[in-house]
Structure 1
Amino acid sequence: MRDIRPPFHDPAVESAFAAFPATARDGLLALRRLIFETAAQTAGVGRIEETLKWGQPAYLTPETKSGSTLRLGIPKSGGFAIYAHCQTTILSDFRAIFPDGFTYEGNRGIHFDSGASLPLDKLRFLVAGALTYHRR
């Protein structure tokens, strides 16, 4: 897979990443990279818009409207997380494939410990599912 490290186009998003605790920032940046890489390799997704929603970096498919928003953030319990819209089946579908090895927050998110190695090969399924959710 090509390593895509897109520049920040929105200074507010860049500031949000800079404000994350250093212990979580690397994991969040890895998830950000995964979102852009997966979008670039998934037909019909189009350009990814990176913005802030509820103060968290959020990823949308504004041109194709193929996907549901993904967000990145810091849960109250610490570490870092990726969030999907809780009224979709994105996380329940992912959990059906990968029931073990992840810390799920219901149908809302997956939590990771700071410094943890991310199973990017598995998480790619989650991201692709979110980016193509409305094409089902």
Structure 2
Amino acid sequence: MQALQAGSTKAMKYITAIIKPFTFNEVRNALADAGISGMTVGEVSGFGRQKGQTEVYRGAEYTTNMLPKLKLEIAVADALEDKVVEIIAKAANNQEIGDGKIFVFDLADAIRIRTGERGDLAL
């Protein structure tokens, strides 16, 4: 087994964004255009101030509290935090309730499994 390789000790950020599904392509393209590659995307459901929506299923109207969203997870070097947040906020903004949220966390470490690289080298 290969020894783990130490990476840079620079701080890293873990950015989680909850966005409307139809804004995903614009967000992804804007990030790619800025040279940001690599993200994890998952389908999630949630609610906030938007409070849910009315649906019609087999002719019956019902209200659901949970709305479909996409959750983006992106790990970046500390220096890219502001740029990534700005890109996501601009591309996902439709000036509507429920456009989403962005959360930024400090990331203690990252390890590339294949090579053992650590820190921002693993990103």
- Same topology, TM > 0.5: no
Larger strand fraction of residues: 2
Larger helix fraction of residues: 1
Q: Which has the larger radius of gyration?
A: 2
TM-score by length of 1: 0.28
Structure with the larger RCO, 1 or 2 (CA within 8 Å, 6+ apart):
2
